[in-house]
Structure 1
Amino acid sequence: MQNSANQADLSAATPALPKVTRLRLHDTVVEHLRNFIVEGVLKPGTKLNERELCDTLGISRTPLREALKVLAAEGLIDISPNRGATVSRMTEAEIRETFEVMSGLEAFSGELACERITPAELAEIKALHYTMLACRAQNDLPGYYSRNREIHDRINEAARNSALRQIYISVNRRLQSLRFRSNFQTAKWDRAVQEHDEMIQALEARDGKRLAAILRQHLLEKRDAVLQLAAEAAEAGAQDD
């Protein structure tokens, strides 16, 4: 029953998605599937239907299976010889621990970025910030989250530390869908916007310690929001039973 509902969600999302072109096919398929997972079109625990995904994306099974291998390496899906591919589901402990690690990575990125960011990079981040605010005003969560994610990514890039960059990308991929869901409640979404205002101010002032503290708290609040949503979902499921 759950798989049917998820398939219906996927079908509802397809009109807004262009068919995948042959240009950079592999990267495009990975990006589409990653977005499906991040935005909850494909929910944790969902068994992936290869035929349906091929029809949705307008591709054959070969590039799809190549993309699934990439997502499995990123920890976004699990592939079993007997069960096929399913969207990964993180345990409560994994969520808690991974967000804690991410909070440290974000804080360190912010501290280094304040030392190394260029005026041009800062201007680009501020432009993304203003576009993100416009998306919030329009209640456009996917648009908002896309800019939000890029802001955090640009801060990490501005840190200019390749080892930190590699670890950041690896850990962050597992949390993208959860970071997206952390804004489902209006109050928490507005709080995140306020914190982003504070991030920009600290970055402009090149105040590394302040930016590090803001980013650390920002990620820990996301952790708490995600755990609260998980607890509420579990409670609702228990009541249904």
Structure 2
Amino acid sequence: MTATNQFNTKTEMARRHIRSMILAGKIGPGDRITTNEMSQALGISETPIREALRWMASEGWLDIQNHVGAVVKGLELDQISEISALRGQICGLGIELGAAFFDAERKALIDRNIEAYRRALDAQDYVQVAELNYEFHDLLCDTPRSRWCRRLLDNMHGLMSAQRYGLVPQHDRLEKALQEHKSIRDMIRAGDFGAAAVLAEQHEKNTGEFLIKLLNEKAAQAGGNG
């Protein structure tokens, strides 16, 4: 393995570790991430960790602040509405642009993703569910004709995680999300990519609305306890 590949591997390892901490709710909006702590936790140098932090900042997970460093990013509620709408339109466009690339192999990968999501949800492994959710949307947009759609979705992926806001995973919503994934898959299998795109837009809207509902409830509880 070349030095460049080793660096890239360590950067990806750091990125996955930090993302899993956010998805598990171990760190949330406003919490600082230091390269020294990550270096000690992972047993790697700080250089690939700095690169991972810059990468995650570009994806919307983190905010790099002067004299502070990397901080887990939060959002206003109206921004969540905007981002969920954008994600829906981009994902829908990605499906339609990449229609010719939904061959038997890609469809089989989507099927396996949905089956793995089912198993993870039944086991209440919500970190794995979050990873599989990311993979599902990646499979929808990772085609030669929708590369910018995939890149833009990646940049917004970290902003729509309930766990990053300190919210407990909601099993019922994750169950409904799985059914929405299945409906999108079914339309793709039927060759109706326009309908699949519409369902993807609605799926993202549903996710945004549910996240806003949870955050409003959390704010109300905090106000009641204050």
TM range (shorter): 0.7 to 0.9
**Larger mean Cα displacement after TM superposition, 110-119 or 136-145:** 110-119
Structure-1 separation of matches of 2:199 and 2:144? 16
Mark the CA change 1:124 to 1:233 in structure 2 (over 3 Å): closer, same or farther.
Answer: same
Alignment of 1:158-169 (within 5 A): 158=143, 160-169=145-154
Mark the CA change 1:162 to 1:209 in structure 2 (over 3 Å): closer, same or farther.
Answer: same
Q: Which residue number in structure 1 is paired with residue 188 of structure 2?
A: 203
Structure-1 separation of matches of 2:102 and 2:46? 43
Aligned amino acid, residue 206 of structure 1: G
Alignment of 1:121 onto 2:106: yes
Mark the CA change 1:203 to 1:184 in structure 2 (over 3 Å): closer, same or farther.
Answer: same
Q: Which residue number in structure 2 is paired with residue 60 of structure 1?
A: 45
TM-score (norm 2): 0.85
**8 Å Cα contact 1:30/1:68 also seen in 2:** yes
Match of residue 94, structure 1, among 64, 79, 96: 79
Structure 1 runs not aligned, ≥5 long: 1-20
**8 Å Cα contact 2:64/2:71 also seen in 1:** yes
Match of residue 202, structure 2, among 203, 217, 222: 217
Mark the CA change 1:133 to 1:155 in structure 2 (over 3 Å): closer, same or farther.
Answer: same
Structure-1 separation of matches of 2:140 and 2:206? 19
Q: Which residue number in structure 1 is paired with residue 63 of structure 2?
A: 78
Alignment of 1:46-57 (within 5 A): 46-57=31-42
Q: Which residue number in structure 2 is paired with residue 154 of structure 1?
A: 139
Structure 2 runs not aligned, ≥5 long: 1-5
What value does the CA root-mean-square deviation take over the aligned residues? 2.5
**8 Å Cα contact 1:145/1:180 also seen in 2:** no
Could you list the per-position Cα deviations for residues 172-200 of structure 1 after superposition, in whole angstroms to 9, with x for gaps in the alignment?
3433x248888822221221121122122
SS in 1 for 2:142: helix
The count of residues paired between Structure 1 and Structure 2 equals 220
Structure-1 separation of matches of 2:176 and 2:215? 20
Aligned amino acid, residue 201 of structure 2: R
Q: CA deviation at 1:38?
A: 3.1
Structure with greater contact order relative to length (CA < 8 Å, sep ≥ 6): 2
